[in-house]
Amino acid sequence: DTGVSQNPRHKITKRGQNVTFRCDPISEHNRLYWYRQTLGQGPEFLTYFQNEAQLEKSRLLSDRFSAERPKGSFSTLEIQRTEQGDSAMYLCASSSMDGGYEQFFGPGTRLTVL
Amino acid sequence: GQNIDQPTEMTATEGAIVQINCTYQTSGFNGLFWYQQHAGEAPTFLSYNVLDGLEEKGRFSSFLSRSKGYSYLLLKELQMKDSASYLCAVKSNAGNMLTFGGGTRLMVKP
């Protein structure tokens, strides 16, 4: 396992469609985070999981956004009824709960909503 | 809430030293991180400070003053490949998420 992976790397969709992104964290990491990053800005926290439990979801941008991590391994982020303002880079990160503090980021999924 | 400020852009010369400042206001503090991000790539971890003082790691050093809500990242012997955005991020003690500043875009010129 060489790092955090995300799929797809790029997604182009039409306004109103639903999209789902996948994140596979580093295998021994039990914490997983989703961030959104727009051009020229730093990443913005969305939600995070410890194992399969979603411990913080109040920062999700609207009720159109949801995330799951059903078995405590990979996670999905879904955006329903996409809007042009959802166009951004969606980053996933993972970290270890046991003494580790660094969050390792994946390459991101770039979403373009037409 | 949390507020993090850092300069938007900086320019420096190859071989020189540059200091990127970050100030923060937070309702709870549990560490400050610096990440490097090249265009179109993921952020990569550079340093972590939780206690006051200087942490040195090769050409990169990071300083923290909790009483002043201030940190800086010092890059020595600049190389062209150091051209990137540098992100300051604060971890609160209320959760595990990072709150990022807007990033400082550093351009290293020959």
pLDDT (0 to 100) of residue A65:
95
Rg (CA), chain A: 13
Residue A3, CA atoms < 13 Å, CB-side half-sphere: 14
Nearest chain B alpha carbon to A59? B97
Write out pLDDT tens, residues A104-113: 999 999 999 9
Q: What are the chain B neighbours of A33 within 8 Å (beta carbons)?
A: 96-98
Q: Give A47's pLDDT tier (boundaries 50, 70, 90).
A: very high
* Nearest residue to A112 (alpha-carbon basis) of A46, A15, A36: A15
Please say if the pLDDT value at position A38 is more than 90: yes
Q: Do B95 and A33 touch (CB under 8 A)?
A: no
pLDDT per residue of chain B (110 residues) written in tens, 0 to 9: 678 999 999 999 999 999 999 999 988 888 999 999 999 899 999 999 999 999 999 999 999 999 999 999 999 999 999 999 999 999 877 667 899 999 999 999 99
Q: Which residues pair with B55 in a beta bridge?
A: B62
On the 0-12 / 13-18 / 19+ scale of CB atoms within 10 A, A54 is: middle
One-letter amino acid at B28 equals G
Average pLDDT over residues A71-95: 95
* Nearest residue to B16 (alpha-carbon basis) of B93, B98, B109: B109
- Secondary structure percentages of chain A, helix, strand, coil, to 5: 5, 50, 50
> Å from A65 to nearest chain B CA?
18
> Å from A82 to nearest chain B CA?
22
> Å from B110 to nearest chain A CA?
24
pLDDT (0 to 100) of residue A100:
59
| CB-CB contact of B51 with B63 (8 Å) | no
Nearest chain A alpha carbon to B49? A101
Q: How many residues does chain A have?
A: 114
Q: Give A101's pLDDT tier (boundaries 50, 70, 90).
A: confident
Mean pLDDT of chain A: 92
pLDDT (0 to 100) of residue B1:
64
Q: Give A99's pLDDT tier (boundaries 50, 70, 90).
A: low
pLDDT (0 to 100) of residue B97:
83
Of B42, B96, B99, the CB nearest to A91: B42
Tokens of B26: 């937070």
Optimal mutation site among B96, B100, B104, interface A, most CBs of chain A within 10 A:
B96
pLDDT (0 to 100) of residue A58:
80
pLDDT (0 to 100) of residue A23:
98
Q: How many residues does chain B have?
A: 110
Average pLDDT over residues A21-40: 93
Q: Do A108 and B48 touch (CB under 8 A)?
A: no
More confident residue, A102 or A12: A12
Q: What are the chain A neighbours of B102 within 8 Å (beta carbons)?
A: 40-42
B42-52 in b/e form (b: 16+ CB < 10 A) is bbeebbbbeee
Average pLDDT over residues A34-38: 96
Q: Give A98's pLDDT tier (boundaries 50, 70, 90).
A: low
Q: CB count, 10 Å around CB of A5? A: 16
